[in-house]
Amino acid sequence: MVRCISVLALFFAAVSASSIADNVISKFGNQLRFQHVPNDEGGATLTDNWLKVADLIPSAYLPTRDNQFHLFTRDNPTVSQPLLLYNGALLLNSNFNASRRTVILIHGHGGSALSNFNLVLIPSYLAAADVNVILVDWSRGANSNTVLSLVNIALSARNVKNFIEFVTSTTGQSLADVSLVGVGLGGLQAGLIGRRLRRQVGYIAALDPTYWSAVHELLPQFRANDGVYTEVIHTNVGNRGYIKPMGQVDIYPNGGINMPGCGRDDACDQERAYYYWAEALTSGGFTARQCTDYEEALLQECQGATLTLGGIEPKTGASGIYSLQTNPSPPFSQG
Ligand SMILES: *[C@@H]1O[C@H](CO)[C@@H](O)[C@H](O)[C@H]1NC(C)=O
């Protein structure tokens, strides 16, 4: 009897709550309302795809309040120095060194400071070169549904753009010596940040970036001219990533769809993009061959000129579509 009453009480609570929550603005793309949407963290999040009045309350995600920036250098490889936008004293007293390249890491949908993407790439960059690594934690914006994540990457991109301008103007560093590296939705955001920085960032890498026009053609995309040099790695096209070339250089390891060692796991395929990137930083290898078009890349029939995946320095001037083969487990490179 007690059980019955509590169920009824829940029912009435749900009815009264839904009269507020149901002020739906848009049934985005006419999608099912509730879906398990794959995130960039190897899992899926149950999301409400419809846009409601309550979602647009500005305080839901405020990058100036919610985004956090963490500096790692060879002097502090495991414990970060937090940096604050417009706090010049904090920046100038940190281990940041403007004579060294600065790498900005942007995690994906569903991610945070502790994303595997960060945990893999921070030590790899510091092992490979004496650089400043700055992790962008935009988790408050990255943990929402498809529609809001889209709004949020634009909001976050503006904040990160302001942060990078603050760093370069405070320390005298050139945008040419900045690299932006993002995965999934973070890869798309890296492009938006680069565009807002007047396309002067030296190196932008998008690792299996999300392609939004698969949802709607008016949504923002990664573009080849978002930076001085742009490189896109495709490891899960047709699912998390997009099939067509988007950068100056586009590399399709193993044909770009299913990565060896991943079975049929899309999340594993996407993660491989930053595992390959990390191994290329520390051990080199990953020699790719140029293709005549992306169809040839998907078929792994490329026999053209060689180019190596990733690296610390931008390969400015390089362009084209490439493919390479990897091993199923580390070391991934076949040379
Ligand atoms: C900054 O980096 C340069 C190049 O690595 C190095 O020569 C210089 O000593 C560094 N400055 C400080 C204060 O560590």
Spell out the domain ranges in the chain: 34-249+256-282
* Separation of CA 229 and ligand 1 centre (Å): 26
Instruction: Please tell me the residue having the least CA distance from ligand 1 atom 3.
Output: 99
* Separation of CA 99 and ligand 1 centre (Å): 6
Residue 239 phi, psi dihedral angles, 5° rounding: -120, -90
- For residue 59, list its beta bridge partners: none
Tokens 């030296």, residue?
202
Structure tokens at 148: 């809001």
Predicted confidence (pLDDT) at residue 6 exceeds the cutoff of 60: no
The pLDDT value recorded for residue 143 is 86
Ligand 1 binding pocket includes 97 (Cβ within 6 Å): yes
The confidence band for 59, taking pLDDT boundaries of 50, 70 and 90, is low
Residue 79 phi, psi dihedral angles, 5° rounding: -110, 125
- Average pLDDT of the chain? 89
Other beta carbons within 10 Å of 87: 14
For 92-115, what is the mean pLDDT? Answer: 97
The pLDDT value recorded for residue 69 is 98
The pLDDT value recorded for residue 58 is 63
Instruction: Please tell me the residue having the least CA distance from ligand 1 atom 10.
Output: 97
* Separation of CA 128 and ligand 1 centre (Å): 17
Tokens 């019955």, residue?
4
Atom of ligand 1 nearest to the CA of 130: 5
The confidence band for 146, taking pLDDT boundaries of 50, 70 and 90, is low
Tokens 């976050």, residue?
156
Closest by alpha carbon to 63, among 168, 166, 140?
Answer: 140
The H or E element that residue 188 is part of is: helix 185-196
Predicted confidence (pLDDT) at residue 185 exceeds the cutoff of 50: yes
Bond into 331 cis (ω within 30): yes
Closest by alpha carbon to 222, among 207, 237, 236?
Answer: 207
Q: Which string of b and e fits 106-140 if b means at least 16 CB within 10 Å?
A: bbbbbbbbebbbbebbbbbbbebbebbbbbbbbbb
Closest by alpha carbon to 209, among 297, 282, 106?
Answer: 106
Atom of ligand 1 nearest to the CA of 99: 2
* Separation of CA 176 and ligand 1 centre (Å): 18
Query: Tens digit of pLDDT for each residue in 294-312?
Result: 999 999 999 999 999 999 9
Least confident of 40-44, 86-90, 296-300: 40-44
Most informative mutation of 97, 131, 173 for ligand 1 (most atoms within 8 A of CB): 97
Please list, in sequence order, all residues whose beta carbon lies within 8 angstroms of the beta carbon of residue 292, skipping any fewer than 6 positions away. Answer: 302, 304, 321
For 279-297, what is the mean pLDDT? Answer: 97
Tokens 């510091």, residue?
126
Predicted confidence (pLDDT) at residue 21 exceeds the cutoff of 70: no
Instruction: Please tell me the residue having the least CA distance from ligand 1 atom 11.
Output: 97
* Separation of CA 238 and ligand 1 centre (Å): 45
Ligand 1 binding pocket includes 98 (Cβ within 6 Å): no
Predicted confidence (pLDDT) at residue 8 exceeds the cutoff of 50: no
Rg of the chain's alpha carbons, rounded to an integer?
Answer: 21
Ligand 1 binding pocket includes 95 (Cβ within 6 Å): no
What is the second-level CATH architecture of the domain 34-249+256-282?
3-Layer(aba) Sandwich (3.40)
The confidence band for 252, taking pLDDT boundaries of 50, 70 and 90, is very high
Most informative mutation of 92, 94, 95, 99 for ligand 1 (most atoms within 8 A of CB): 99
Instruction: Please tell me the residue having the least CA distance from ligand 1 atom 12.
Output: 97
% of the chain surpassing 90 pLDDT: 71
Closest by alpha carbon to 111, among 222, 187, 60, 170?
Answer: 187
The pLDDT value recorded for residue 11 is 38
Please list, in sequence order, all residues whose beta carbon lies within 8 angstroms of the beta carbon of residue 225, skipping any fewer than 6 positions away. Answer: 199
Closest by alpha carbon to 199, among 130, 153, 242, 247?
Answer: 247
* Separation of CA 234 and ligand 1 centre (Å): 36
* Separation of CA 172 and ligand 1 centre (Å): 14
Atom of ligand 1 nearest to the CA of 95: 14
Alpha helices in 144-184 (DSSP H): 146-171
For 8-20, what is the mean pLDDT? Answer: 42
